[in-house]
């Protein structure tokens, strides 16, 4: 009996010791976990600072800062910076024009590499330089303000000499080639008008009726002095595209329905001087339907731009026949949505303007499109072409 009690007591002591050991192990694991969380969050940790020192993870903003400094130093680009009381780093970078595009590509690459966000918040063009102000954020916090001063090369525009007049003819002054750029689909996002204004180009903005921000953006465009037109939805060839009757001009829309759509659009874009088609590959290819649309456009005193969403479009020819001031698209800037493609299309636009005396491009407010236009502006100003609103190309 005594032996049995001793066995039970011994077993109880073992169980108690095991329980105490497990409890201590759990408590230690909790303490270590809490200390590690403090270390990861940048707070003081006794264990991971004194007992088992761990290397602190470098914040993304600091990694970006070090790599940008190294990049500028490696390329011998003049720069300086200071850190304000809030911890925001203010960079000032001064460079010659040929170095601008490579540096901005590297800047975008570094920001993307470290998971940040880059915004161009201001552009100021002057006679001998262009100043860009970038804001860079990491972890939803502003960490860097970069003032980039680009020194412009002296313009050296070589224009073809005008043809000598024939015998008996008076010499005619050579007319400078003109180009215009329309930015479609305004109204789906807020503050796009501000981005267009900041480009410093006489763009034409096409506002799509019934888009969430159509009225607000149309008013801003007017306040900023930018030309605006209606981006009127028209029926496409693809039946899979959603085209509700109360928003799209359809092949079987009555004159009353078209009139109502146009009136609704003008109520939202009251300062519109003209319109172009949104989609419309089917409708603009149908002479009967387009004639009814253009008759109402003429009655409103508007001009019409054929976006040429289909090679079979008859809209431009019909507008000319009806005596409506008109133009048609020559180039899509962003049918491929990349910075490089849009840059190439801008160069193509200039070539067409030189060949034909005029050229019209259509693009969209994609970041890659706006970046390419912004970066091309100093180059465009030296190409011997006039950049005008769409109304400056009307026939």
Domain ranges across the chain: 23-57, 60-151, 178-393
Q: Which CATH superfamily is domain 178-393 in?
A: Glycoside hydrolase/deacetylase (3.20.20.370)
Half-sphere exposure of 210 (CA within 13 A, CB side): 13
User: Beta strand 78-83 with 129-138: parallel, antiparallel or unpaired?
Assistant: unpaired
Least reliable range by pLDDT among 4-13, 161-170, 178-187, 243-252: 161-170
Q: Kindly report whether the global pTM for this prediction surpasses the value 0.85.
A: no
Q: Which of 27-41, 75-89, 129-143, 354-368 has the highest mean pLDDT?
A: 354-368
CA 93 to chain centre: 23
For 44, other C-beta atoms within 10 Å of its C-beta total 10
Evaluate whether 387 touches 380 at the Cβ level (below 8 Å).
yes
Give the residue-averaged pLDDT of 277-296.
96
Give the pLDDT confidence score for residue 294 in this predicted structure.
Answer: 97
Least reliable range by pLDDT among 47-51, 106-110, 149-153, 200-204: 47-51
Cα 101 to Cα 98: distance, rounded to the nearest angstrom? 7
Give the residue-averaged pLDDT of 265-280.
96
Structure token digits, residue 210: 């019934």
Q: Which of 9-23, 25-39, 69-83, 251-265 has the highest mean pLDDT?
A: 251-265
Give the residue-averaged pLDDT of 207-218.
95
Cα 118 to Cα 144: distance, rounded to the nearest angstrom? 9
Cα 309 to Cα 241: distance, rounded to the nearest angstrom? 14
Secondary-structure breakdown of the chain: helix, strand, coil percentages, each rounded to the nearest 5? 45, 25, 35
């Amino acid at each position: 009996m005594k032996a049995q009690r001793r066995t039970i007591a011994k077993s109880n002591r073992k169980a108690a010791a095991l329980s105490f050991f497990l409890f201590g192990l759990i408590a230690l694991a909790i303490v270590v976990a809490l200390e590690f969380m403090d270390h990861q969050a940048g707070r003081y940790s006794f264990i991971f600072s004194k007992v088992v020192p761990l290397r602190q993870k470098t914040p993304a903003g600091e990694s970006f800062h070090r790599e940008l400094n190294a990049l500028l130093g490696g390329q011998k680009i003049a720069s300086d910076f200071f850190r304000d009381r809030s911890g925001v780093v203010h960079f000032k970078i001064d460079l010659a024009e040929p170095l601008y595009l490579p540096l901005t590509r590297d800047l975008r690459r570094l920001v993307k590499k470290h998971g940040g966000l880059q915004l161009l918040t201001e552009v100021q063009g002057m006679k001998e330089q262009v100043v860009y102000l970038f804001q860079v954020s990491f972890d939803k916090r502003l960490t860097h303000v970069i003032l980039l001063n680009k020194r412009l090369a002296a313009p050296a525009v070589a224009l073809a000499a005008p043809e000598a007049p024939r015998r008996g003819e008076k010499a005619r002054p050579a007319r400078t080639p003109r180009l215009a750029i329309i930015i479609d689909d305004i109204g789906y996002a807020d503050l796009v008008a501000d981005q267009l204004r900041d480009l410093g180009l006489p763009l034409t903005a096409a506002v799509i009726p019934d888009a969430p921000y159509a009225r607000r953006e149309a008013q801003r465009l007017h306040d900023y002095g930018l030309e605006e037109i209606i981006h009127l939805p028209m029926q496409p060839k693809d039946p899979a595209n959603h085209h509700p009757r109360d928003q799209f001009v359809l092949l079987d829309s009555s004159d009353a329905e078209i009139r109502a759509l146009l009136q609704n659009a003008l109520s939202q874009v009251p300062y519109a001087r003209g319109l172009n088609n949104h989609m419309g590959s089917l409708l603009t290819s149908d002479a009967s339907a387009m004639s009814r649309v253009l008759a109402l456009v003429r009655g409103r005193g508007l001009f019409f731009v054929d976006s040429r969403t289909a090679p079979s479009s008859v809209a431009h020819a019909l507008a000319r026949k009806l005596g409506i001031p008109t133009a048609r698209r020559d180039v899509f800037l962003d049918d491929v949505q990349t910075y490089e493609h849009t840059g190439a299309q801008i160069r193509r636009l200039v070539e067409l303007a030189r060949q034909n005396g005029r050229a019209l491009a259509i693009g969209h407010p994609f970041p890659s499109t706006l970046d390419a236009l912004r970066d091309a502006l100093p180059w465009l100003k030296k190409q011997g072409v006039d950049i005008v609103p769409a109304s400056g190309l009307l026939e």
